[in-house]
Amino acid sequence: MKRVIGTVTIGQSPRVDLIPEMKAILGPDVEIIEGGALDGLSLEEVKRYYPGPDDYVLVTRMADGTEVKIAKRHIIGRMQAQIDRLVREGAEVIALVCTGEFPPFKCDRLIVEPQKVLYGVTRALALELKLGVVIPDQSQVPAAYRKWSGAAREVRVEAASPYSSGDDIVRASKALREWGAQVVVMDCIGYTLGNKAVVKEIVGGPVILARSVVARVLSELVS
């Protein structure tokens, strides 16, 4: 019998850019059911969730691949509704597929929060090293420095959207190479294995990819 994992994206499901790469790690005995905080909304309707000057900014995508920025405070309730639905549909474990920081959700299943997993793994590896951090948007840089400053000896943050052309990834990678990054963490679930390969080739050191770390933790939980 297949084990069932529920994934909740801050954008729209299905995440055709993400779930296949996670399934490749999880294997054929795991079924993934999806939900998105923006499911059922048009791009025009999503505009009311856009961030203001003081909001915690999240970057995600619509079902058609369009990149959108939203304020965290607008989608917490919609994320909770998706968690509730996925549990009703049989999910044994819930995974948030976003590396942002969120308040606790109500759920009688285990919830895997990528931010906590990614931070723990990265800090364990990079505490005495120079850590390069790649995030989606320039507006997130101050928060990223606050988040990662305790995880390494030195930290450098570069912004490069996973939902645009690869030029941003190349530029960010070159900047981290020039700075002397010894390990890089790609702090967004949207970054792909292909993005990781580009960073690794340019920087030359280990690269920690959020989606593959989370998928491997999920595999451990349901195996």
Q: What number of H helices and E strands is found in the chain? A: 8, 10
Q: Give pLDDT, residue 60.
A: 96
Q: What is the pLDDT of residues 15-25, one digit of tens each?
A: 999 999 999 99
CATH of domain 116-209: 3.40.50.1860
Q: What is the pLDDT of residues 94-127, one digit of tens each?
A: 999 999 999 999 999 999 999 999 999 999 999 9
Domain with CATH 3.40.50.1860 in the chain: 116-209
- Which residues have a Cβ under 8 Å from the Cβ of 117 and sit 6 or more positions away? 213, 214, 217
Q: Within a 10 A sphere around the Cβ of 77, how many other Cβ atoms?
A: 9
- Which residues have a Cβ under 8 Å from the Cβ of 163 and sit 6 or more positions away? 59, 61, 65, 67, 136, 190
Q: What is the pLDDT of residues 195-213, one digit of tens each?
A: 999 999 999 999 999 999 9
Q: Give pLDDT, residue 166.
A: 80
Q: Give pLDDT, residue 167.
A: 93
Which stretch of DSSP H or E encloses residue 57? strand 57-61
CA dihedral 113, 117, 119, 122 (to 10 degrees): -160
pLDDT band at 164 (very low <50, low <70, confident <90, very high): confident
CATH 3.40.50 fits 3-113+212-222, yes or no: yes
- Please provide the average confidence, as pLDDT, over all residues in the chain: 97
Mean pLDDT across 55-79: 96
